[in-house]
Amino acid sequence: MSRLEQAAARLERVVDVGGRLGAWCLFALVLVMAANVLLRYGFSLGSVWAQELEWHLFVPICLLGMSFALLHGDHVRVDILYARFGERTKAVIDLGCALAFTALTGIIIWLSLRYVGQSYAQGEGSANPGGIPYRWALKSLLPLGFALLLLQMLAESLRHLARLRRLAA
């Protein structure tokens, strides 16, 4: 394994931990939804807080799960043209896409920091009475999720660069 691939593996370990945390949020979401349904239809009980907790758990599932899905190859890929290309062409395309997406995730992180900071400064919470008071904490997952995606895109870039080097040798 080359140094580039070793560096990529270290980055991917961080992404994997984030994805596993997102998976636990999925488990929690199933429990919360089941409890909400049972309480509402079985006992005619419910709360705004419990309803909001559902989408508060859905956010980390998406934001932590996107980099995890990319890491494990579970993302959507359209191979109509790509499958016909040679290995070197595929490696160049993969590296170019990874670098472009790295830049895009960096821009999203940069733009989201002000958004999160403003929400924190206002102490933003739920607009609903009885809702979850710390909406800014949920919004803080936006730059965190994209930071994990940035790490994964850097790892992908390193792996594709290593692949290009092998193909050139």
Q: ∠ CA 104-105-110 to the nearest 5 degrees?
A: 100
| Model pTM score | 0.88
Q: Encode the chain (169 residues) as per-residue pLDDT tens digits.
A: 789 999 999 999 999 999 999 999 999 999 999 999 999 999 988 888 888 899 899 999 999 999 999 998 877 777 788 888 999 999 999 999 999 999 999 999 999 999 999 999 999 988 888 888 888 889 999 999 999 999 999 999 999 999 999 998 7
Query: What dihedral angle (degrees, nearest 10) is formed by the CA atoms of 117, 119, 121, 122?
Result: 170
Question: What distance in Å separates the CA atoms of residue 38 and residue 32, rounded to the nearest whole number?
Answer: 10
- How far, CA to CA in Å, does 61 sit from each of 34, 53, 66, 127? 17, 13, 8, 23
* Domain spans in the chain, listed from the N-terminal domain onward: 3-168
Q: What is the pLDDT of residue 131?
A: 84
Instruction: Provide CB contacts within 8 A for 48, sequence distance 6+.
Output: 126, 128, 129, 130, 131
